[in-house]
Amino acid sequence: MAFFYWPSARGLALFALLALIANAAWAGADVAGWTGTFYLALFIYLGFSIYDAGFTPARKRSWVLLIIVWVLLEATAFLAYVVPMGQVAFWLAGVVPANLITPLMSTFTSGWLVPILGFAALLFDAAIWHLTGGTRNGLVDIILLVARAIVAGLLVGWLFGLLVPAPATGASLSILPPWYGLPAYALLRAVPDKLGGILLVLAAMLVLLPWPWIMHKRPSWRGLWLLCCLFMVAVWATLGYLGAQPPEGTALPALLLATLHFLFFLILPFLARR
């Protein structure tokens, strides 16, 4: 539907984003549901943005903001597991007024920080993408796109409930993160050194930062470019699968997939210019 009224990756990305938000609202999602919805929307949105490779100067800045927010949210989730809440409150006491510490800590511990900041960054970048995207669409086209996305999200929510994969669970004693954290978990376990694993996960996210500068436009070989992007989707899906498995025997495949990930973002754009 989005492609019919707005034949571009931009239309499909906005349609998916709005449909997922409407689906979560109709299904009455809790904190975990909204967080999962944000990450599903983020991954779909990043995929369409990488494939489209259309970045205006304003969109470059909003893209950097989106990636930084993503990294900070991942770091926040990591700190929530390893740092006691009392220590976080102690740190905040030195830089934040006392009357703001309690609201900040309640937001942090309740889990609403991720979906609130995440969707704010996503919607901001989506708005910049539309306003400076090059192709202009009439008001009727925009209204039709938004209306159909909301109706699709509500219909799916009414028929099937929340359109977000359930958190990963395992029969073993190992503790698994939610489904959206499994690719990062696979990379974290791929390096024997803990600091090395953290740096690998951080680099895998930050490598998206220079994308608007090194990939100025979509390659002329569109069919092959689409296959390359779909291959990267398969790489991340496989990393998620490895993250849900016992750690034995997964380090080498995860490192191989990480290598393909970095080759895609750092080498392929220069080959596409030839």
Q: Quote the CA–CA distance of 139 and 148 in Å, as a whole number.
A: 14
Nearest to 3 by CA among 163, 157, 137: 137
137 secondary structure, DSSP code: -
**Domain edge (last residue) among 135, 164, 193:** 164
**The pLDDT of residue 141:** 62
Give the Cβ contact number of residue 142 at 10 Å: 15
Query: Residue 134 has what pLDDT?
Result: 52
My answer on whether 68 and 24 are in the same domain is yes
Range of the domain at 23: 1-164
Tokens of 75: 């770091």
Neighbours of 21 (CB within 10 A): 22
Q: Enter the DSSP assignment of 270.
A: H
Q: How many CA atoms lie within 13 A of 230 on its CB side?
A: 6
Q: Report the predicted TM-score, pTM, of the whole model to 2 decimal places.
A: 0.80
Residues with pLDDT less than 70, the chain:
1-10, 78-111, 133-145, 166-174, 222, 272-274
* 35-86 pLDDT, tens digit each: 888 888 899 889 888 888 778 888 899 999 999 999 988 877 766 555 555 5
| Domain boundary residue, one of 164, 198, 229 | 164
